[in-house]
Chains A and B, each alone.
Chain A
Amino acid sequence: MSRAAVLRTLVRRELGESLRSRWFVAYSGVFLLGALALMLFGLSGSEIYGYRGFAKVMAGLVHLALLFVPLMALFPATAAIAGEREIGSLEYLVSQPISFGELFWGKWLGVSLAVWLSLCLGFGLAGAVAVYAGTPWQLVALLLALTLLLAEAFVAVGLLCSALARSRARATSAGLIAWIIAIGLGTLGLMGLVIRWGLPRFVLSLWAFANPVEAFRLGVIASLDSDGSLLGPVGGGWVATLGTGGLITLCLAGLALWALLPTLLAWWRFRRPQAWSAL
Chain B
Amino acid sequence: MAVMIEARGLGKRFGSRLVLDDLDFQVERGVRLALLGLNGAGKTTLLRCLMGVLSFEGAVQVGGVDVAAEGKSARGLIGYVPQRPPLFSMTLETMVEFFSELRGIASERIADRLEALDLPLSEMGDLALRELSGGMVQKALLAVALAADPPLLLLDEPTANLDPRARGEFMRALRSVGSDTTVLLASHRLDEVEMIADRVWILHEGRQVFDGTLDELRARAHADAWLWVRTEPERRDDARRAFIERAGEAAVVANGTHVAVQLPAAGRAEALSNLQVRGVPIDDFWVVGPSLEEIVQGFFDGEGER
Q: Of residues 181 to 200 in B, which have CB atoms within 8 Å of A's CB atoms? A: none
State the interface size on chain B (CB cutoff 8 A). 27
**Contact yes or no, A9 B102, CB < 8 A:** yes
Of A84-92, A213-221, A249-257, which stretch is located at the interface? Answer: A84-92
**Contact yes or no, A95 B53, CB < 8 A:** yes
Kindly state the separation between the CA atoms of A17 and B88 in the bound complex, as whole angstroms.
Answer: 10
Q: Which A residues touch B103, using CB under 8 A? A: 1, 96-97
Cβ contact of B86, chosen from A10, A13, A88, A98, cutoff 8 A: A88
Q: Of residues 18 to 40 in A, which have CB atoms within 8 Å of B's CB atoms? A: 20
Kindly state the separation between the CA atoms of A13 and B100 in the bound complex, as whole angstroms.
Answer: 13
Q: Classify chain A's interface size.
A: 20 to 34
Kindly state the separation between the CA atoms of A75 and B53 in the bound complex, as whole angstroms.
Answer: 27
Q: Answer whether residue B76 sits at the interface, using C-beta atoms and an 8 A cutoff.
A: yes
Q: Which B residues touch A121, using CB under 8 A? A: none
Q: Which of A6, A13, A92, A99 has the most CB atoms of chain B within a 10 A radius of its CB? A: A92
**Contact yes or no, A91 B82, CB < 8 A:** yes
Q: Would you give the 0/1 interface string for A91-114, flagging 1 where the beta carbon is closer than 8 Å to chain B? A: 111111111000000000000000
Q: Which B residues touch A17, using CB under 8 A? A: 89
Kindly state the separation between the CA atoms of A272 and B191 in the bound complex, as whole angstroms.
Answer: 38
Q: Answer whether residue A195 sits at the interface, using C-beta atoms and an 8 A cutoff.
A: no
Q: Which B residues touch A276, using CB under 8 A? A: 53
Q: Which B residues touch A92, using CB under 8 A? A: 80, 82, 86, 88, 141
Q: Of residues 236 to 264 in B, which have CB atoms within 8 Å of A's CB atoms? A: none
Q: Answer whether residue A273 sits at the interface, using C-beta atoms and an 8 A cutoff.
A: yes
Could you pull out 14 A-B pairs where Cβ atoms are within 8 angstroms? A1-B103, A6-B102, A9-B102, A17-B89, A88-B87, A89-B87, A89-B88, A91-B84, A92-B88, A94-B51, A96-B102, A97-B73, A274-B14, A278-B84
Residues in A lying within 8 Å of B, measured CB to CB: 1, 5-6, 9-10, 13, 17, 20, 87-89, 91-99, 273-274, 276, 278
- 12 extra interface residue pairs, beta carbon distance < 8 Å, beyond A17-B89, A87-B87, A88-B85: A1-B76, A5-B104, A9-B101, A87-B86, A88-B86, A89-B88, A91-B84, A92-B88, A95-B53, A97-B75, A97-B102, A98-B72
Which 9 pairs of residues, A with B, have the shortest CB-CB distance? A97-B76, A1-B104, A89-B86, A92-B86, A87-B87, A88-B86, A9-B101, A95-B80, A97-B75
